Amino acid sequence: MKYNLMLEKGLLSERKHKLSVLASKLYGVAFCFLPVMLVVTPKQHVWWHTGLFIAIIYTRLAAVLASFWTTKGSLDSFANKIFVGIYTAVSIAFPVMAFWQYFLFDVYPGYKERLPGKGFIPPWFMMTWFLCIVITSKFLPNDILIRRNLELAARFEEENL
């Protein structure tokens, strides 16, 4: 809705509109699979669980970046630049590290025994992504307000409209 209104007002090009709507819709579809990701645990099927989680990570990144991309001046603040940089780096690096680790577990027998702890992805790195989720609303551009007027009408007026 936001991107459609921005297009109508001439605040977005057709290309930005299409890409932003696509990013938002892909994130919406990926988010619908969140319950499946929580039901299919890593012990049951590590690739399915992680694949769904990574789809959520990448589509959310695309939706957040689209919000910054479509709003003029959203990256003028140094804090916003730092947030977008850290969030993008963690969102790209974490899935790559996870797939690489799982690949090594599957391809090289005995690899798991040589790793200290549970793997080479530090827990703080994964938690950084979750922290970014919590603080995203602080940094998202908010200069577009959507207002809606509601009016009460008598029932017979609605039928005659």
Summarize pLDDT for 7-24 with one digit per residue, the tens. 777 777 888 888 988 999
Number of domains in the chain: 1
Domain coverage including residue 63: 2-160
Please tell me whether the overall predicted TM-score, pTM, comes out greater than 0.75 for this model: yes
Summarize pLDDT for 41-99 with one digit per residue, the tens. 878 888 888 899 999 999 999 999 998 888 877 788 899 999 999 999 999 999 998 88
Residue-wise burial string across 26-60, b where 16 or more C-beta atoms lie within 10 A, e elsewhere: bbeebeebeeebeebeeeeeeeebbbbbbbbbbbb
Residue 6, token pair as written in the block: 């921005």
